[in-house]
Structure 1
Amino acid sequence: MPRPDRPRLLQIARGWVDPLVVMIVAVLLLGLFVPAQGGFADVLATVRTCAIVLLFFLYGARMPTREVLDGLRNWRLQGSMLAATYVLLPVLGLLVQLLPDAVLAPDLRRGVLYLTLLPSTVQSSVVFTSVARGNVAAAITGATISNVSGIVVTPLMVGVLMTATGGAHGGSLTGILLQLLLPFAVGQVVQPWIGGWVRRHARITRFTDRGTILLVAYTSVSQASVSGAWDDVTAVALLVLVVVCALVLAGVLAASWWGGARLGLDRADRAALVMVGSTKSLATGLPMAAVLFTPVVAAGVALPVIVFHQLQLATCAVIARRIARVQ
């Protein structure tokens, strides 16, 4: 069987370090040591809001509605992907909330729960499925459905689960509607006219994705630095967070692979299930956090999302190649 194509995204998937994460870390350090304050911070907050609106508009404009609906026909695989994303991982996130404060601080526990409520990645999960010689078409559909549904499901789950566990999110319904749902809906309305152009010019959406993430990261950390919210994050706390995120990732990877076998999915479908069901979207998670949470809380939940993102890239790259070798 010929080897799968190696697009530029695969270069990221094969490595241990995501260049986007490197940029985010640099921006985090900038926010820690040179935080935005005063009028400059106010201007950045306005720019951030506009960037988030544009981001979710482009999400809607580039997703063909017909392809999403057609993908629902494989209900067993698509249902398994959604269950892994929005049932299994949130359950693992709730289990993390049982850890005592001495093991993991409440803010970081809240961030772990938040990341488990996010939709799946699109680009990297599809690339990993291709490397594993899995069902790429199903991965594209599943990741797309996950992201479309996440516009609604993630804010709802944040409102229910994070409030119930003592982590009030502070986001307003008006903000969610105006900054997330409305731009996405408008993008879907105009998608038949501009969708093809947006998909052909992927650099625009890639620039918007990365620019918004970096802007959200810098403004959130700046606001947290000014308020002193990150003063208690030590090297030990960071190490514990890495271990906790690794255990959550290991749990969903194992459950997805062996659960797919129990459901009777073939190896190609199981590869798609693992890669889509276990990954969480940094591109959606950080901008959405800026809408759902107060600035200080948003900075606290950002760190677990970043850590999990790097772990999933490194781990899924290794697993994808291993699945491909044993076929």
Structure 2
Amino acid sequence: MLSRIFPDRFVPVLLATIGLASLLPVRGEAVPVAEGVSTAAIVLLFFLNGVRLPRDEVLHGIRNWKLQGANLAFCFVLMPLLGLIAQAATAQLVPATLALGFLFLGILPSTVQSATAASSLAGGNVAASVVAAALLNLVGVIAAPLLFAALAGSAAEIHGAAVLRIALILLLPFLAGQAAQRWLRPWVLAHRGAATFMDRTSIAIAVYVAFSAAVVGGIWRLLDATEIGIVFAAVAALLALSFNGAWQLGRSLGLARPDRITLLFAGAQKSIAVGAPLAATLFSSATAGMVLVPILVYHMAQLILSAWIAPWLNRAEKV
């Protein structure tokens, strides 16, 4: 029963992390230590991403310009616009930092492992899915904060120190991982389980520290049942628009069915693996926790939805 409700095992991990932060948030003198551990985990996460993402496959896959161009346009043009609309629609109904979280959700790149796995399960173009995930994340490390700053304006709270922090904590480890691919990528690929465990532990730590600060700042006092319901309703609308929009875009471009499936999951999914570290880098801990709420809900919902849609697409193709 649990596997049907939570097809991806990371969903209950995120729920448990939020629950732990709500019951036992980091306080007082432990905060700097927790933030240091979180920063170290983020550095490790982006270093491993740099090691894992294949440069050669990205360069080869760029030749399929129609599919990869559609992925880039949907992920970094259409989805940010949907996020901006969701922010505007909820701005008068929920706290401003929470509404900003919808825009933040929109500018994030796609997931890597889950989008590729869903595409494979659905009968999509797996090679193109790997390339799409790599390309979107390579572009996203640089494009996501710039897009957010451009669309959020003064609400973004981005300044020179934040840009330098992004370069040191996100971009530099990623580039170091790319440089170390020749020596470390075979080991990472041979120990996928350990690498995935480290990835997910890093994300959970970043979410725990950010959400702890939000809990100490009174997030559960600031949000009532109505506002939480608005978040879920807005996320449901974004999921419907993003998944349907990606599918229809693939149809309008005349993409082959396997490529449409790749576009569906690469375009509509959003990555908490980039979202949590980026929020921790751009915002104060208390603000980051509130901004992360929409992407946390969206990320868990997209994993469940994708795990239901993918087998259906596979069966529908064979009927």
Q: Distance in 2 between matches of 1:325 and 1:18?
A: 20
| Cα drift, residue 319 of structure 1 | 2.2
Q: Tell me the distance in 2 between the aligned counterparts of 1:169 and 1:308.
A: 24
Alignment of 1:141 onto 2:138: no
Picking from 74, 81, 85, the partner of 1:91 is 81
Contact 2:149 2:156 in 1 (8 A): no
SS in 2 for 1:231: helix
Answering whether residue 122 of structure 2 is matched by residue 132 of structure 1, we say: yes
* TM-score for the superposition, normalised by structure 2: 0.93
Give the whole-Å Cα distance in 1 for the aligned partners of 2:137 and 2:91.
32
Per-residue deviation, residues 194-222 of structure 1 (Å, max 9, x unmatched): 11111211123212211112211221122
Match of 1:212 among 202, 211, 215: 202
TM-score by length of 1: 0.91
Q: Comparing both structures, which one devotes a greater share of its residues to helix?
A: 2
- Aligned mates of 1:206, 1:112 — CA distance in 2: 27
Once the two structures are superposed, what CA deviation does each residue of 1:250-274 show, in whole Å capped at 9, x if it has no partner? 1121221122111110111111110
Alpha-carbon distance in 1 for matches of 2:284, 2:107: 18
Tell me the secondary structure at the aligned position of residue 109 of structure 2. coil
Residue 100 of structure 2 corresponds to which residue in structure 1? Answer: 110
The answer to whether structure 1 residue 47 and structure 2 residue 37 are counterparts is yes
Q: Residue 102 of structure 1: CA displacement?
A: 4.2
Distance 1:213 1:100, change over 3 A: closer
1:100, distance to aligned residue in structure 2 (A): 5.0
Query: Do the aligned partners of 1:169 and 1:297 also contact (CA within 8 Å) in 2?
Result: no
Query: 1-side partners of 2:49 and 2:90: how far apart?
Result: 38
CA distance in 1, matches of 2:66, 2:275: 27
- Could you say which residue in structure 2 is the equivalent of 1:246? 236
What secondary structure, in the 3-state scheme, does the structure 2 residue paired with 1:322 have? Answer: helix
**Equivalent in 113, 128, 148 of residue 158 of structure 1:** 148
Decide whether the 8 Å contact of 2:6 with 2:12 is kept in 1.
Answer: no
Q: 1:203 aligns with which of 180, 193, 199?
A: 193
- Write the distance in 2 (CA, Å) between the matches of 1:325 and 1:75: 28
Q: Which runs of 5+ in 2 are unaligned?
A: none
Residue of structure 1 aligned with 2:14, choices 21, 24, 32: 24
Match for 1:223: what amino acid? A
- What's the counterpart of residue 281 of structure 1? 271
Residue number in structure 2 paired with 1:270: 260
Query: Do 2:53 and 2:134's aligned partners in 1 also have CA atoms closer than 8 Å?
Result: yes
* Amino acid aligned to 1:168: E
Q: Which amino acid aligns with 2:296?
A: I
Residue 107 of structure 1 and its aligned partner are, at CA, apart by 2.1
Give, in angstroms, the shift of residue 229 of structure 1.
Answer: 4.2
Partner residue, 1:294: 284
Paired residue type of 1:62: R
Counterpart position of 2:303: 313
Q: Percent identity?
A: 39
- Listed as ranges, the gaps of 5+ residues in structure 1 are 1-10
Looking at structure 2, the residues matched to 259 and 60 of structure 1 have their Cα atoms a distance apart, in angstroms, of 30
In the aligned structure 2, how far is the partner of 1:208 from the partner of 1:217? 14
Structure 2 distance, partners of 1:27, 1:131, is 28
Aligned residues: 315
Deviates more, 1:188-197 or 1:218-227: 218-227
Q: Give the superposed CA RMSD.
A: 1.9
1:168 to 2:131 alignment: no
* Preserved CA contact (<8 Å) 1:62 1:196: no
Distance 1:39 1:317, change over 3 A: same
Q: Which residue of 1 aligns with 2:71?
A: 81
Find the aligned partners of 1:100 and 1:254 in 2 and give their Cα distance.
Answer: 22
Instruction: Decide whether aligned partners of structure 1 residues 155 and 101 sit closer, same or farther in structure 2, where only a CA change above 3 A counts.
Output: closer
Distance 1:72 1:115, change over 3 A: same
CA shift, 1:15, in A, is 4.6
